[in-house]
Amino acid sequence: MIDRMYGRSRYVRRPVRGFPVVALLLGSLFLPPAQPVQAVRAAPLPLERHYDNTGVAHEGRPDSAGLDGRGAALSARDLAAAGWTPGRALTVQGARLTWPRRPPGAPDNVRAAGQEVLLTGRGDALAFLVTSTGGGPAGGSGTVTYADGSRSSYLLSAPDWRRGGLATKAVALPHVSTPDGSLAERARLYVVTVPLAPGRAVASVRLPYAPDLHVFSLAVRAAAPGWTGSWASSTSGQPAVGRWTDRTLRLVVHASAGGPRVRVRFDNTFASAPVRLGGATVALRAAGATALGAPVPLTFGGAAGAELPAGTQAVSDPLAFTVPAGADLLVSFHLPGTVTAVPSHGLAVQRAYLSGPGDHTADADGAAYGTTLTSRPLLAGIDVGGGPGSVVLLGDSLTDGDRSTADTDSSWPDVLAARLRRQDEVPRYGVLNHGIAGNRVVTDRYPGDGVSTVTTGVSALNRLDRDVFAQTSVRTLVVFEGINDLLAGTSPERLTAGLREIAERARLRGLRVLGTTLAPCGGLARCTPAVEAGRTAVNAWIRERGPFDAVLDADLALRDPAAPGRLLPAYDSGDHLHPRDAGYAALADSVDLRLL
């Protein structure tokens, strides 16, 4: 297939594995028909001026809309329950989109047919709020025109609103509205981003010619100059939490990079209902849940709190607050309502704290925080002012820090960040740990929707947009994942195809991509001779034929020279899969920082 990006062409050979990952960026699944002459010549108009389809049905008049052309539509009641009300700003994957400011029964989306949309802004990506109604993915190629007169092409695709994957959806609604009544069937909406030419101001966007593709909103995702990602955590599922009513959470964050300003990101990923933050603060930590001085309030658009509609994010306003590099922060937030399940990161090798009733965000002491947690609810990221940008480590439990000593910041991402802070040879990047224990490259463990005890996340392929491309000021991606795929029976060929796809998609976003060999697992009952043969084959591919800019050799750093299929005993935590602290340190110390 041919990829065209910013006037360059290159040929990429890879297997077609279906939506979303193939169609999203690398195209060639959809070759657009010739575009109508009048669409080509039309002057740019705001997206709402192009609305030609009605997707949301009035509850009292189920025949008032027909998203699919056959009378089936989205439910206005379900959208309201999710917090997606007319005119509502929705931040998804770092892009600020707007749900159409139209009442139910009025045109609220565009069937893509080559329309020229007036859109201005400067950023790193276009974000489309879309779905399709053709029974499968729909999409094609479009064009961005920049203020300087130059152009770049993009490829856009959206899954079907009733059959598409849940792992990549922005929101899933519980019903489909039809003239004959409501069906208990999930209706999906998606946010898809495509890269922009760096540094150029957008003037207009030509949509693809794909009438089954419906566009509800479009925005330029602003880049983040002047900010560095200092800490991050992946949402790995949505577990039940009993019943929290009027509680305050206090989470400990170990900042990798420092700066004179801070902003905090919360993420309601995978949820079906809004969550309300009554207030939030940030403080330096003294010990435990006790702050070093009075916590400082955060604001959201000038307000003390924020509501996060289902599937969306909230980012606090910039706060003049000095974050020392390597410091521990306390981020406290009040949940004034009742919460029974919450999007979380399942494995936090750092205690978090839950208060009794009341807003305790301003408390300097930790007396109110009588319950400890081993997960991280809602909190997704910390950015600091200035700095050179960040490195994202995408991985599984070995990156998540499983079996490292709790509350000591002994994971290999933490040790790597400490190394960067102690040197002057390369920029002191922020290090963002996007490891999820139990995660796989090509298979979803958590389905991406609903309350579940499974907190091992959607696949690396399906979380790549959210956990890598949408991260603040990311410069380099390090991929260290795949052993769980092999242990589950995935073939080496399918795994390497998935790793290649990650590298190709990341490179199209302008990222440097490092691949990491898979560490030994000999001695683990599931690590059969077939798994070991697959690991050996995958590692040979990574070292010799992989599509990476450089290779980090975790296998070499951690293996026992006398038994290369096993971890060095001094590094083995005892389960023969995860290192202990000394092993994580050895892995971090083996990294040539110049490769970052």
Give residue-wise pLDDT tens across range 92-140.
Answer: 999 999 999 999 999 999 999 999 999 999 999 999 999 999 999 999 9
The SS3 assignment for 586 reads helix
What is the chain's alpha carbon radius of gyration, rounded to the nearest angstrom? 24
Whether pLDDT at 38 is above 90: no
Whether pLDDT at 42 is above 90: no
Reading the block at residue 265, the tokens are 């990101």
Q: How far apart are CA 56 and CA 483, in angstroms?
A: 44
Tens of pLDDT, residue by residue over 204-216, are: 999 999 999 999 9
Angle at 329 between CA 326 and CA 333, to 5 degrees: 155
Q: How far apart are CA 209 and CA 264, in angstroms?
A: 39
pLDDT band at 242 (very low <50, low <70, confident <90, very high): confident
Q: How far, in Å, are 110, 254, 576 from residue 53 at the CA level?
A: 6, 48, 57
Nearest to 495 by CA among 434, 538, 539: 538
Residue 522: predicted pLDDT: 98
Tens of pLDDT, residue by residue over 190-235, are: 999 999 999 999 999 999 999 999 999 999 999 888 999 999 999 9
502 membership: H or E segment, kind and range: helix 492-508
Residue 21: predicted pLDDT: 36
- Which residues, in sequence order, are CB contacts of 118 under 8 Å at separation 6+? 44, 45, 46, 47, 203, 204
Place of tokens 């699944």: 29
DSSP state of 466: I
516 in Cβ contact with 480 (< 8 Å): yes
pLDDT band at 1 (very low <50, low <70, confident <90, very high): very low
Residue 13: predicted pLDDT: 28
Q: How far apart are CA 590 and CA 516, in angstroms?
A: 12
Nearest to 28 by CA among 13, 40, 43: 13
Q: How far apart are CA 249 and CA 237, in angstroms?
A: 18
Residue 31: predicted pLDDT: 34
Of 49-63, 200-214, 430-444, 580-594, least confident by mean pLDDT is 49-63
Helices marked H in 402-482: 412-421, 460-464
Whether pLDDT at 30 is above 60: no
Cross-strand pairs, 250: 332, 353
Q: How far apart are CA 26 and CA 6, in angstroms?
A: 14
Reading the block at residue 58, the tokens are 């009035």
pLDDT band at 399 (very low <50, low <70, confident <90, very high): very high
Calculate what percentage of the chain has a pLDDT beyond 90.
90
Phi-psi region of 61 (alpha: psi -120 to 50; beta: other; left: phi over 0): beta
CB atoms < 10 A from the CB of 390, how many? 26
pLDDT band at 41 (very low <50, low <70, confident <90, very high): low
